Amino acid sequence: MTGATTDTALAPESRPLEPAAPSRRFVANALDVVVRSIVPVLLALGAGAILLLALGRDPITFYSNVWKGGIQLTAWQDSAIRAAPLLLIAVGLVVVFRANIWNLGYNGQFLLGAALISGLGPHLVASEPRWFALLVLFLVAGGAGAAWTLVPALLKARYETNEIITTLMMSFIGVGVANILIKGPFQDPAVNIPQTRVLPLNKMLPSIPGTRIHIGVLVALAAALLVHFVLTRTSFGLRLQILGANPRAARHIGVKVPRLIVMSFLVSGLLVGMAAAADILGTWGYVRANWNPAYGDTVIPFVFLARLNALALIPFVVFYAVLSTGGDLATQQANLSTDFLLVLVALILLFMTVIEYLGRRRALGASYLTPGLQQAFRSSRLRRKTSA
């Protein structure tokens, strides 16, 4: 209210300074984006602190432990490594979410890719040159992830079957199949624990000189940039966005909707599978049965916070990587289950939707005229007033 009155008061003076208006709008927009993305995180951390107090833990120690375990000394490198699979999955989700398609089967796609490459990996790196083997393994994992989206994609494209249900079911099946593979054909014969053979350290993804960070992190960054380019600068990206905004309009302007649905599913699955490759080939080197890091579940809020923008995802994913790497230490020190991090993530999601709602209310109350028209309207009204 006060903003509106000062605007009208300033209108005569600001008219000669026409170029100032867009930059002010830019600042306001940027501020809006920052408020909408950062405030939910802060609120969630605050609510988390209250929860910690309720559980009889010291929130200050908890969060300083997160800092200690996620940033200090060389811990930031662990966080960067953790960010690689998270970023790849998040980017994969951006592709489908933009088209308003819900691929919630990331856990199955991820684990299936992980099981396949940790089963095939040891043989492949032993017989083939390192770079070739790693490239093939990346493609195998990506292919497995993509293939696992095929049934939901076709069902959605052909019969409009709800993809939330089908991807979730395929996810459970994928996790099960991965476990069967790990305990069966890929079992390491040398050990009693159900796990695959371990990749030799010198055959895994090489690290960036001077650090422990493997190049999977660079692959993830490159994928984020590439996806951002494709989604914002190509016709494929535009068609996806139209499909997401209004499927009927998309059909009307000649977009082949079924094909686009299948394509976006495949790309999404491919990226999720590649996340598995980056994680296994870069960090773990093997998979144990019943291992399920559920990266996708925790990264979803940040996909929304970044407003489905692959570039804006990078800082958010880095933030969560720090939170989860440091959170391992912090929850251990506080004698809490690591599932406390899930609560924090859920809080971020809830606060995000609430802030979004408040923002929308304010936007609804604001004028729908473009700034130029607002100016014209104001000046004509002013002139009428002065003439009268």
Partner 1 sequence: MSELLTRTFLTALISGGLIAGVSLMFTALGETISERAGVLNIGLEGMMLVGAYIGFVGAYYGHSFWVGFAAGIAGGAFASLFMVVLCVRLGLDQIVVGIAITLAGEGITSVLQDTQFGSTYPRLGAPPTVAIPLLSDIPVLGKSVFDQPLIVYLGLAGVGAVSWIFRRTNAGLNLRAAGEKPEALDAAGVSVVATRSYAVLCTGALAGLGGAYLSIVGAGTFTPFMTQGQGFMAIVIAMLARGKPLWVVMGSFLFGISLSVATALQLAGINISTDVVNLLPFIAIMVALVAFARRSYLPPALALPYIRGAR
Footprint on this chain of partner 1 (rule: CB under 8 A): 55, 102, 104, 151, 155, 158-159, 161-162, 164-166, 168-170, 172-173, 176-177, 179-180, 183-184, 297-298, 300-301, 304, 336-337, 339-347, 349-350, 352-354, 356-357
Nearer to partner 1, 124 or 149 (CB): 149
Interatomic CA distance for residues 4 and 1, integer angstroms: 5
Q: How far is the CB of 29 from partner 1 (least distance, A)?
A: 22
Interatomic CA distance for residues 45 and 49, integer angstroms: 6
Nearer to partner 1, 146 or 223 (CB): 146
Tell me the two tokens of residue 248.
């009927």
Candidates 178, 203, 184, 177; CA nearest to 123 is 203
Interatomic CA distance for residues 99 and 242, integer angstroms: 7
Q: How far is the CB of 349 from partner 1 (least distance, A)?
A: 4
Do the beta carbons of residue 240 and residue 46 sit within 8 Å?
A: no
Nearer to partner 1, 21 or 173 (CB): 173
Q: How far is the CB of 248 from partner 1 (least distance, A)?
A: 14
Nearer to partner 1, 130 or 183 (CB): 183
What are the helix and strand counts (H, E) for the chain?
Answer: 16, 0
Q: How far is the CB of 108 from partner 1 (least distance, A)?
A: 10
Helix (H) or strand (E) holding 248: helix 247-252
Nearer to partner 1, 301 or 326 (CB): 301
> How far, CA to CA in Å, does 270 sit from each of 96, 238, 263, 312?
12, 20, 10, 21
Nearer to partner 1, 80 or 96 (CB): 96
Helices (H), 55-129: 59-70, 75-98, 106-127
Q: How far is the CB of 359 from partner 1 (least distance, A)?
A: 12
Nearer to partner 1, 133 or 334 (CB): 334
Do the beta carbons of residue 271 and residue 219 sit within 8 Å?
A: no
Name the region of 307 (left: φ>0; alpha: ψ -120 to 50; beta: rest): left
Q: How far is the CB of 140 from partner 1 (least distance, A)?
A: 22
Q: How far is the CB of 24 from partner 1 (least distance, A)?
A: 30
